[in-house]
Amino acid sequence: MKLIENWFSERYSDNLQLSFRVSDQLLSVKTDYQRIDVFQTYDFGKLLSIDGTVQLTEKDEFVYHEMITRMPYLYADSKPESALVIGGGDGGAAGELLKLGLKRIVNVEIDGQVVEVCRKHFPELASSFSKKNVELIIGDGIKYVETAKEKFHIIIIDSTDPVGPAEGLFDSKFYHNVAKILAPGGVVVTQSGSPFYQPKAIGMAQRGMKPAFEYVKSYTAFIPTYPSGFWSFTMAKNTPIKMRKDSVPAGQYFNMEIAESAFSLPEFVKKLIA
């Protein structure tokens, strides 16, 4: 019997950390790109960490995945049929897009080992990669959009934070290429960090998108296991950002009220992108 308590801690800064008590470390692997860990926690089910940063837990992944898919779905000018996901190696975004009835989803993940780990430890998410409407490409999303010819109604950047492999996903060169493969009236969305602990990320996303798109707007959601519990996403289009006359069923977080109110930013967040 082990009496020592085991904790996984994410450091938000040198001076602040959130700690999860874990019953087991299920995996720890160093890939060509990053370190991947999977823990069995007591309160949040399994937890996936990349480079020490919580990517998802079984208990609250629904917020992130609902908000990064249903928002672009509803804000596309017409009912979307195809989507490109860059990153998203856990399969959660692709799975939500399937629920929304999309007919073609291309998912480009740079690190094949993320997919392998998630197939094993998060099969309820990664099983989306085995569905017939989903094409999984293990490759560099930045290079993919340079040469892709196919156009998509929704393009989702479901990346890690803008340091390391994901850094190039926040600059305007990348977004100019994204703009070329966005179908008319389509929507691009990226995660853009915690406005509280990563105040530069939302501005980086906006500055990356603005040279390539006519309209850019950020929205937020509450995600308990992400730093500060408060997360931002940034949406870009070449037509005005307004909700299509349509509706999608409520999820566990998302509903039609949230679909509108998520764009209301607290004053300190507005100032970050002013």
Residues engaged in binding a second copy (CB under 8 A): 9, 13-21, 41-44, 63, 196-197, 220, 222, 224, 228-230, 250-255, 257-258, 260-261, 264-268, 270
Q: Which of 60, 90, 111, 158 is catalytic?
A: 158
Cβ proximity to a second copy, 11 vs 103, nearer residue: 11
- The kind and range of the H/E element at 188 are strand 182-191
Cβ proximity to a second copy, 123 vs 266, nearer residue: 266
Q: 140-148: list long-range contacts, CB under 8 Å, 24+ apart.
A: 140/108, 140/110, 141/86, 141/87, 141/108, 141/109, 141/110, 141/169, 142/168, 142/169, 142/174, 142/177, 144/86, 144/108, 145/84, 145/86, 145/174, 145/177, 145/178, 145/180, 145/181, 146/177, 148/84, 148/181
158 is catalytic: yes
What's the closest the beta carbon of residue 79 comes to a second copy, in angstroms? Answer: 22
Q: Are 105 and 97 in contact (CB under 8 A)?
A: yes
What's the closest the beta carbon of residue 225 comes to a second copy, in angstroms? Answer: 9
Q: Are 55 and 160 in contact (CB under 8 A)?
A: yes
Q: Residue 89, SS3?
A: coil
Cβ proximity to a second copy, 1 vs 274, nearer residue: 274
Q: Residue 124, SS3?
A: helix
What's the closest the beta carbon of residue 75 comes to a second copy, in angstroms? Answer: 16
What's the closest the beta carbon of residue 230 comes to a second copy, in angstroms? Answer: 4
Q: How many CB atoms lie within 10 A of CB 13?
A: 8
Q: What is the DSSP string of 200-257?
A: HHHHHHHHHHTTT-SEEEEEEEE-TTSGGGEEEEEEEESS-----S------SS--HH
What's the closest the beta carbon of residue 253 comes to a second copy, in angstroms? Answer: 4
Cα–Cα dist 184/180, whole Å = 10
Q: Which residues are catalytic?
A: 158
